[in-house]
Copies of this chain bind each other. A is one copy, B any other.
Amino acid sequence: MKKIRIGMLGLGTVGSGVVRIVEGHQEDLQRQTGAELVLSKIAVRDINKSRKVTVDPALLTEDPWEVINDPEIDVIVEVMGGVEQTKEYILAALDKGKQVITANKDLIALHGPEILAKAAEKRCDIMYEASVAGGIPILRTLVEGFSSDRITKIVGIVNGTTNYILTKMTQEGASYEDVLVEAQRLGYAEQDPTSDVEGFDAAYKMIILGSLGFHVHLSLNDLDIRGISKVTSDDIASAKRLGYTIKLLGIAERQDDLISISVQPTMVKDSHPLASVNGVFNAIYVYGQAVGETMFYGPGAGDMPTATSVVADLVAVTRNLLTGINGSRSSMIMNEKKLKSDEQIVSKYFMRLHVADKAGVLAKITQIFADYDISLESVLQLPNNGTDEQETEIIIITHDASKAGLNKALAKFEEIEVVKAVRSVYRVEG
């Protein structure tokens, strides 16, 4: 039986999972592929560190170049993370004609085009299923399952940390700060949670999903990114009262050739399937012109789910090696990228305004919306039962409005005296 030799960069959480699956499922994998999958070399930072899996110490090296330069190695599995240095390793591996599998979303989101171009030039496979939504085979689904369709919208809950925090806030009425501390204690959030809670992790994943779904090269500058650190329990309570749940959604849309893409906390109708995706789970909603609406749900992180995706890539690469067709798919032509302007980005919006509690205020506010051509779906003026009798709260949900129009209305509210504060503004989905 032919041996496929694997060199791995990194042996952390995901890397340990890869070792476990390649060893534990070896017999199944051989039957699936017709080849023996051999882990031949693993680069680690510290050879002497104690690890969650037992690995023959002879396989370990502290020098990644030893793995990349090994002529025996067919496939490089990169699970070490990092961007600039790691890019150098991967480009060098491709240059040597090795197939590459990576779980590194930052790398693919930031340098995908350069890496894909190198893979195409060298007729090598570059696969990165594990970079988005852990164990959900969503990239395969977009590329293979919907190859016949024209995808028009991808909406994803793609960050488990923020979904855990929002779920807890919703279910227990707790504050953002308290839940974040708990999430950090449980290991669901990093000590520096910025990348998760400010939406950057989700943004990287949406870049990958949008690029594959719409066949364009998207980059970080193309996204509007807003995290969850400003979401308050009051916002969540207001959402609940109106039959909505707040979720951090990545939304990529295509209308004709125009694309918009964003990450933001969004009010999702309770009847929408995404509203009931709770805890650290991920889900991706895909709309296709022909297929209509579909959803894919599963664990978004974790050693074994993520390793499942890495090893599924390994199976695909191995099959390609045995039939000699590696790199045959990397020459896909790309569409020209045209982004929607703020005038063209249209959505429903929810907002909470604190206003002076006196006659004529509501008329003034609704007139401003009318001036900017924004019609309103519902207006809810709450009875003033707070401590400050001079102010009251108005909750507004608009019909579809352009982002530009909305921003003008919001700017106007800043100017007029009767609006004391715009407490919050959310996009509304479903």
Chain B residues near A150: list those with CB within 8 A.
Answer: 25, 28
Any chain B CB within 8 A of the CB of A4?
Answer: no
Number of this chain's copies in the assembly equals 2
| Contact string against B for A residues 124-165, beta-carbon threshold 8 Å, 1 for contact and 0 otherwise | 000001000001110011001111111000000000000000
| Contact string against B for A residues 304-317, beta-carbon threshold 8 Å, 1 for contact and 0 otherwise | 11011111101110
Evaluate contact between B136 and A314: CB separation under 8 angstroms. no
Among candidates B21, B295, B322, residue contacting A297 with C-beta atoms closer than 8 Å: B295
User: Which residues 208-227 of A have a CB within 8 angstroms of B?
Assistant: 215
Shortest distance from the beta carbon of A283 to any chain B beta carbon, whole Å: 8
Any chain B CB within 8 A of the CB of A347?
Answer: no
Evaluate contact between A290 and B17: CB separation under 8 angstroms. yes
Interface 9-mer from A92-100, A328-336, A399-407, A416-424: A328-336
Any chain B CB within 8 A of the CB of A31?
Answer: yes
28 contacts between A and B (CB under 8 A): A20-B290, A21-B148, A25-B148, A25-B290, A28-B150, A29-B148, A31-B215, A135-B290, A135-B292, A135-B294, A137-B144, A137-B145, A140-B140, A145-B309, A145-B312, A146-B312, A148-B307, A148-B308, A148-B311, A148-B315, A149-B308, A292-B304, A293-B298, A294-B296, A294-B298, A295-B296, A296-B296, A296-B297
> How far apart are the CA atoms of A314 and B148 in the complex, in Å?
8
> How far apart are the CA atoms of A149 and B298 in the complex, in Å?
14
Could you list which residues of chain A lie within 8 angstroms of chain B, going by C-beta atoms?
17, 20-21, 25, 28-29, 31-32, 129, 135-137, 140-141, 144-150, 215, 273, 276, 288, 290-299, 302, 304-305, 307-312, 314-316, 319, 322-323, 325, 328-329, 332-333
Evaluate contact between B290 and A294: CB separation under 8 angstroms. no
Known A29-B148, A31-B332, A322-B328; further 11 A-B contacts with Cβ < 8 A: A21-B149, A31-B215, A32-B147, A140-B141, A144-B312, A148-B308, A148-B311, A148-B314, A276-B276, A290-B305, A291-B304
